[in-house]
Amino acid sequence: MSTALKNLSLYNFDEVPSGENSIFGIVVSEWNLEITNSLLEGAIETLKLKDVEEKDIYIQYVPGSFELPFGASSLLEKKRFNAVICLGCVVQGETRHFDFICDAVAHGIMQVSLKKEIPVIFGLLTTNTLEQAQDRSGGKHGNKGIEAAITALKMASL
């Protein structure tokens, strides 16, 4: 496994554009809240480190990951954002439900981004186990929330 010994969230701070004078939305799934709150903390911390003011970070919670695209779309109806970050976590279960949710969220986020012509960032963990999700939300493999915030900063600067 390529991630076995890596913190995937390491980055060169100087290569990430400043977010000064930018406005970011973050849509967060309430399902697996322990995981998604860790992702949220990583995203907020990263945005602040890159000069985004707290007042320019808007957070919207939705019940689950399936609702992330709608949450992003409704957030974009309310205000002009430079980018919106979607954060969620889907853990593989015993049924194909996992596949349907992950596919729908990925397509939905892309559709919102293209329709609204604003970057909407895919920050959805799709793991086999809860332990893998913990490893990627502040554990040994970093924090996908940090990676999503870096992507938002880069896309907002285009």
Q: Which CATH class is domain 26-156?
A: alpha beta
> Which of 6, 97, 107, 115 does the annotation list as catalytic?
97
Check residues 97 and 3 and name the one with the higher pLDDT. Answer: 97
What residue segments make up the domains of the chain, in order of their start? 26-156
**Tokens found for residue 148:** 């999503």
| pLDDT (tens digit per residue) in 7-63 | 878 889 899 999 999 999 999 999 999 999 999 999 999 999 999 999 999 999 999
Supply the DSSP symbol for 151: H
> 55: which residues sit within 8 A by CB, 6+ positions away?
none
Q: Are 147 and 38 in contact (CB under 8 A)?
A: no
Q: Are 32 and 89 in contact (CB under 8 A)?
A: yes
In this prediction, residues 128-149 reach a mean pLDDT of: 96
Check residues 123 and 12 and name the one with the higher pLDDT. Answer: 123
Q: What is the pTM of this model?
A: 0.94
CA–CA distance, 110 with 105 (Å, rounded to integer): 8
> pLDDT averaged over the chain?
94
Whether 97 is catalytic? yes
In this prediction, residue 1 has a pLDDT band, given cuts at 50, 70 and 90, of very low
Terminal alpha carbon distance of the chain: 33
pLDDT higher than threshold 90 for residue 142: yes
